[in-house]
Structure 1
Amino acid sequence: MPPQPSLSFTLPSIHDNTKLDCRIYQPYHSNPSNPSIPPYSSSSDPSWPRHAAVVAHPYAPLGGSYDDPVVHLVASTLLDLGFVVATFNFRGASSSSGRTSWTSKPERADYMSVTGFLVYYMHYLTAPQNHARSIEEDNNSPPILLFAGYSYGAMVTLQLPPIDSFLSHFASPATHTAFADIRLRAQHLAEEQSTMSADPASPRKSLGMRFGGDEDLSPRSRGKHRAHSPDPEEKIRRGVKDILSRSKFIHRRHHSPSADRGTERNIEVPCLENVDNLIRFRPAYLLVSPPLGFVTNLATMSFSNLWPKKRKDGRTKNLEDYTKREESEVETEAKLTANPTLVIYGDHDSFLSIRKMRDWATKLSNVEGSRFRYVEVLTAGHFWIEHGVSQELREAVYSFSAGLVKS
């Protein structure tokens, strides 16, 4: 089990502004189970490694959430290695808003929303040293950003586009968008966390802060919490408003539909400025029990794809979808072989076709110059509850991640 989160808060999804519950865990200097030892004070501690990870959970309709035991195992292992770890609830999971989709496209956006937050959060934690660090990175490898997931979370992780392609949307977003809100929340919470870490008199320094959501509180204490403290979400909004009041904007012209049908008008939209010396992470991937094969196809199709639809050119929509899926698979495999990747699965996993998993893993690991590796754990099922297998899972995660931070 990881310690209590340093931050608990909500974010809007870049897909449709659905509210997502999120947590940030920050690493400890030594024993993470000892609350008297504060987390790294990132903006003033040169030993802080700055590696970060996002860990995604299993399928929400089957009870998956960021409280899943395997998610906790992976998160706690990464914390021991000095990673800042973000976990979150996909839409429809636990107290996050919305409903689980049939296509997993909104869930990919949920994952990218949390990743965008984490990148800017890490940037503002280290902001006082950004100039020095940018010089230092000329001679050293940049920190790791580990994309991790278990079961359905691993499937969504597989489908993510390359990091640069979606981070570009956070670079200078219009102020009214979820992209901007996520960036501003990251800045506000990072500044608050840095202030608390730097203040030796802060009574909450070792206990972590809560922003948004109170799912960890009992009903009785939840009522007292609301009665004696301001609404956490309102505190974030005030913090975001304060940052906006001292920010400089870029104004861009934007085409907007007019009240008169068929016409458009140009309006100027304020946008956030690009952040100088934004941390550039090295991506890596950790996939635990990814449901390849039938389960993956079922979860990523929509009802509209079940029957062929003729197009004017005589082709069927199914053929077009199949071609797109093939192109997506090629892009996914290229991402996994070009970057450090570890897939871990059990040979008794009833959610997988073990033969297909072995063939797929062997193929990717044999690509020339591939950085893809896999571990098959004997007797392990999908839920990692068999005798001794959770320890083997932990050791595989630790060995892979320790190699990342040393490279």
Structure 2
Amino acid sequence: MFLTPPTLSFTIPSVHDGHKLDCRLFHPPGLLTPQSAEEHHASAPPPWARHIAIVAHPYAPLGGSYDDPIVNLVGSVLVQAGFLVATFNFRGASKKDGRTSWTSKPEQADYMSVVGFLAYYAHYLDTAAHTATEQHASLSPILLQCGYSYGATVTTKIPPLDSILASFHSPAVHTSAADIRLRAQHLAEQQNKLASTPISPRKSLGMRVGGDEDISSSPRKSHEVRRSRSFEREEKIRKGVKDILGRSKLVRRRRHKEDQPKPANTEADHHEVDCMPVVSDLPKFRSAYLTVSPPIGLMTNLATMSFPNPFGSLSRKRNQPAQDSEGQEKEKEPQNEAEAAELKLVRNPTLAVYGSNDGMAQLYKIREWTTRLKGHAGSQFLDVEINGASHFWWEEGVIEQLRSAINTYATSLVKNGEKAPMHNSALPDAMALPN
């Protein structure tokens, strides 16, 4: 099972610095055009319930990109489970301009840019022809944030979902966040038009706007054709963004002057700018997370320049959990961004899948990490250690175990809705955790 050619291929700016990020979207089988749905009525999949997912790739300097086979595997499983999936290239991937950072901060911003895009794209897609069941309609859709290897590291470090989406609520016009929203709306509206127009099956799935998978000429000519089509696509998107901006009801908001030190307390420190309106009916997405081969340990520290606090144990002793009136421990609110990023993995459904022979990580560190996260009261964190699997999942039989674990988790997310979180007992028996 592999990802089919993307429904859409495009770029968005990173909220970090405007760097262009190559992105791909893969529509699930339940998101069909009316014509296709009628043709396949007998075997039609369940209607798309606005579940969306992002899959981040491994370390770019070592060849990581959205073409990675494990990224492909994870994405294909999620698409079949009913998720609309986005993959993207971090800065520095696929010989593009830019380079991978030492801190992962720019890459975290890259990831958050795709989160913002996907949330608004899903909102603007017209699914009236694919009305969900009452069960689906009564539940908030899922936004599943995934990553493999370095992508898993970035996934664990990004802020909680509400914090990410807050940056897109009413961004100033001509900022990257505003451009991302406008591009999401434009591309969704284009898909809506395609879905309502009786055209060929290939075009009805949006491939006309997607990749160049049908080019069959000399390498040089193919490159020129791809570059020409990419430029043409970008120009169409820019024109569509300008059109939507022209018909948007902008709002004036006071913003802090960029060249002034913070905090600002005087009128002179602020100025009014045109901002995008708040989308009041944006779906209230439920967060979920999936990490594959998270390089916990030395590789994580080197890749992100984050090292353990030597006073960590002392700090933990000084900050013992408070107790409520009945003597039960109360979970402390996060004191900084790092704590908030980690607690999101505890408070929301999360699955970590890794191999016992992962040479890019320290197994005892992974086990310490997973044990600590599972130890929180009411934790929704799960993990699967697959015996004999390496970081690259080359060993015989392990890839099927990885696929099975991801499929079980994804389908459980979709089916359980707001019921009790999935437990380890719901995972395949062969993947039961060691005691």
TM-score, normalised via structure 2 length: 0.78
1:26 lines up with 2:35 in the alignment: no
Match of 1:375 in 2: 384
Match of 2:203 in 1: 204
Aligned residues: 380
- Equivalent AA in structure 1 for residue 346 of structure 2: T
Please say if residues 157 and 342 of structure 2, whose CA atoms lie closer than 8 Å, have aligned partners that are also in contact.
Answer: no
Match of 1:9 in 2: 10
Match of 1:62 in 2: 62
- Equivalent AA in structure 1 for residue 299 of structure 2: V
The 5 Å alignment of 1:69-108 reads 69-94=69-94, 96-108=96-108
Please say if residues 78 and 401 of structure 1, whose CA atoms lie closer than 8 Å, have aligned partners that are also in contact.
Answer: yes
Shift of 1:223: 3.1
Shift of 1:268: 3.1
**Which blocks of at least 5 consecutive residues in structure 1 are unaligned?**
307-316
1:331 lines up with 2:340 in the alignment: yes
The 1:229–1:158 alpha-carbon spacing in structure 2 relative to 1, beyond 3 Å, is closer
Shift of 1:210: 2.9
Residues 199-242 of structure 1, C-alpha deviations (whole Å, 9 max, x = no match): 2225511362436x869855423434666897111110000001
The 5 Å alignment of 1:194-233 reads 194-202=192-200, 204-206=203-205, 208-210=207-209, 218-224=219-225, 231-233=232-234
Please say if residues 49 and 136 of structure 2, whose CA atoms lie closer than 8 Å, have aligned partners that are also in contact.
Answer: no
SS, match of residue 170 in structure 1: coil
Please say if residues 374 and 382 of structure 2, whose CA atoms lie closer than 8 Å, have aligned partners that are also in contact.
Answer: yes
1:185 lines up with 2:189 in the alignment: no
Of 227-236 and 105-114, deviating more is 227-236
Shift of 1:252: 2.0
The 1:235–1:363 alpha-carbon spacing in structure 2 relative to 1, beyond 3 Å, is same
Shift of 1:277: 0.7
- What is the rounded CA distance, in whole Å, between the counterparts of 2:270 and 2:206 in structure 1? 49
Match of 2:426 in 1: none
Match of 2:319 in 1: none
SS, match of residue 94 in structure 1: helix
TM-score, normalised via structure 1 length: 0.83
1:391 lines up with 2:400 in the alignment: yes
The 1:366–1:196 alpha-carbon spacing in structure 2 relative to 1, beyond 3 Å, is same
Residues 253-297 of structure 1, C-alpha deviations (whole Å, 9 max, x = no match): 345479xxxx96754311110012101111001000001111111
Match of 2:409 in 1: 400
SS, match of residue 238 in structure 2: helix
The 1:162–1:137 alpha-carbon spacing in structure 2 relative to 1, beyond 3 Å, is farther
1:277 lines up with 2:277 in the alignment: no
Please say if residues 29 and 38 of structure 1, whose CA atoms lie closer than 8 Å, have aligned partners that are also in contact.
Answer: no
- What is the rounded CA distance, in whole Å, between the counterparts of 1:101 and 1:83 in structure 2? 30
- What is the rounded CA distance, in whole Å, between the counterparts of 1:30 and 1:172 in structure 2? 29
SS, match of residue 231 in structure 1: helix
The 5 Å alignment of 1:346-365 reads 346-365=355-374
- What is the rounded CA distance, in whole Å, between the counterparts of 2:38 and 2:57 in structure 1? 27
Please say if residues 346 and 376 of structure 1, whose CA atoms lie closer than 8 Å, have aligned partners that are also in contact.
Answer: yes
Of 92-101 and 373-382, deviating more is 92-101
The 1:38–1:194 alpha-carbon spacing in structure 2 relative to 1, beyond 3 Å, is farther
Match of 2:428 in 1: none
- What is the rounded CA distance, in whole Å, between the counterparts of 2:127 and 2:175 in structure 1? 24
Match of 1:123 in 2: 123
Please say if residues 14 and 110 of structure 2, whose CA atoms lie closer than 8 Å, have aligned partners that are also in contact.
Answer: yes
Shift of 1:109: 0.2
- What is the rounded CA distance, in whole Å, between the counterparts of 1:215 and 1:17 in structure 2? 28
The 5 Å alignment of 1:221-260 reads 221-224=222-225, 231-256=232-257
Please say if residues 337 and 367 of structure 1, whose CA atoms lie closer than 8 Å, have aligned partners that are also in contact.
Answer: yes
- What is the rounded CA distance, in whole Å, between the counterparts of 1:29 and 1:229 in structure 2? 28
- What is the rounded CA distance, in whole Å, between the counterparts of 1:391 and 1:46 in structure 2? 25
1:300 lines up with 2:304 in the alignment: yes
Match of 1:314 in 2: none
**Which blocks of at least 5 consecutive residues in structure 2 are unaligned?**
260-265, 316-333, 417-435
The 1:346–1:273 alpha-carbon spacing in structure 2 relative to 1, beyond 3 Å, is same
Residues 324-377 of structure 1, C-alpha deviations (whole Å, 9 max, x = no match): x99555333321111111000000001111112112212222322111111010
- Equivalent AA in structure 1 for residue 295 of structure 2: P
Please say if residues 344 and 374 of structure 1, whose CA atoms lie closer than 8 Å, have aligned partners that are also in contact.
Answer: yes
Q: 2:174 aligns with which of 171, 176, 201?
A: 176
- What is the rounded CA distance, in whole Å, between the counterparts of 1:84 and 1:282 in structure 2? 15
Match of 1:153 in 2: 151
The 1:266–1:144 alpha-carbon spacing in structure 2 relative to 1, beyond 3 Å, is closer
- Equivalent AA in structure 2 for residue 370 of structure 1: S
Please say if residues 28 and 37 of structure 1, whose CA atoms lie closer than 8 Å, have aligned partners that are also in contact.
Answer: no
